Amino acid sequence: MSKVALVTGASRGLGRAIALRLAKDGLSIIVHYGQNQAAADEVVAEITSLGSKAIAIQADVSQVSSINAMFEKLDAELVSLTGESKFDVLVNNAGTAIAKPFGDWTEEDFDRQFDLNVKGLFFITQSAIPRLRENGRIINLGTGLTRFSLSYPIYGVYAASKGAVNVLTQYLAAALGERGITVNTIAPGAIDTDLNAGWLRSEEGQQQTMAISAIKRIGMPDDIADVVSFLASEDSRWVTGQRIEASGGAHL
């Protein structure tokens, strides 16, 4: 029986690349999406074409009631897919990055940033833990911006939300170690996705990014998906509680 991974925010960008890479590794994929069912269905079709199984499932990760409803539906889907309501890998990728000067933030902005990036991740993980098989994997998406802050003040609150993810990763790793479940954070640098397209695909953005990078190119989604592949595999069994930066050597 193949292993099963739940990848949140898998309808586009990093999540899509991660879902496809894990499918190539032979895992069956639960493709979570927030709003765009058509995009999620396209990812499912791509995964199916690779010879792996996949289903799409919707939830608003900022709402605990929606997360609970997703897992109730997921239990039935997993039984249909694998014969039991268990899975092996959780990739907490869903989230958002709001960029504003500190003085421009509203309470609504702040709540949305933390609801998606911290509250959603926590309650998805809480629901996943009893459903994860022994020796499972939890992989959280963080950001390089928790380390290099001087040049990016507009991302301060976003980085703070990901700093909370770093701390949760350590505590979850300690709590779940007896079950052989590893918990790690991947901290990407600037990656060419739709989220960053306006800046990274401009000449100025590319020049600025490469100027502060040891590896002189723009990061791509597959650069992160390949790290997820390692952390989801048996090869990573002795790695837990870590923040693993994949930024091409930014700001060394």
pLDDT for the residue numbered 197? 61
Q: What would the mean pLDDT of 57-65 be, rounded to a whole number?
A: 98
* One-letter-per-residue 3-state SS of 104-137: HCCHHHHHHHHHHHHHHHHHHHHHHHHHEEEEEE
pLDDT band at residue 15 using 50, 70 and 90 as cut-offs: very high
Q: What is the pTM of this model?
A: 0.96
158 is catalytic: yes
pLDDT value of position 211: 83
Q: Helix or strand or coil: residue 24?
A: helix
Q: Rounded to an integer, what distance in angstroms lies between the CA atom of residue 224 and that of residue 7?
A: 14
Least Cα distance to 213 among 241, 192, 229, 193 occurs for 192
- Could you tell me what percent of the chain has a pLDDT over 90? 83
The average confidence (pLDDT) of the chain is: 94
Asked if 145 contacts 98 with a C-beta cutoff of 8 angstroms, the reply is no
Question: Where along the chain do its domains lie?
Answer: 4-246
- State pLDDT tens for residues 142-185: 999 999 887 789 999 999 999 999 999 999 999 999 999 999 99
pLDDT at 133: 97
Q: What is the mean pLDDT of residues 184-191?
A: 94
Residue 199 is predicted with a pLDDT of 67
CATH superfamily of 4-246: NAD(P)-binding Rossmann-like Domain (3.40.50.720)
Q: How far is CA 207 from CA 83, 100, 140, 172, 202, in A?
A: 51, 22, 29, 38, 9
Residue 40's pLDDT is 98
Q: What is the pLDDT of residue 2?
A: 84
Maximum pairwise Cα distance, the chain? 53
Mean pLDDT value across residues 97-124: 97
Query: What would the pLDDT profile of 195-246 be if each residue is shown by its tens digit?
Result: 666 666 777 777 787 788 899 988 899 999 999 999 999 999 999 999 999 9
Under a CB-based contact definition with an 8 Å cutoff, are residues 4 and 27 in contact?
yes
What's the CA gap between 35 and 124, in Å, rounded?
17
Please tell me the predicted confidence (pLDDT) of residue 81. 81
Q: Which of 33, 152, 155, 158 is catalytic?
A: 158
Q: Is 82 a residue whose pLDDT tops 90? A: no
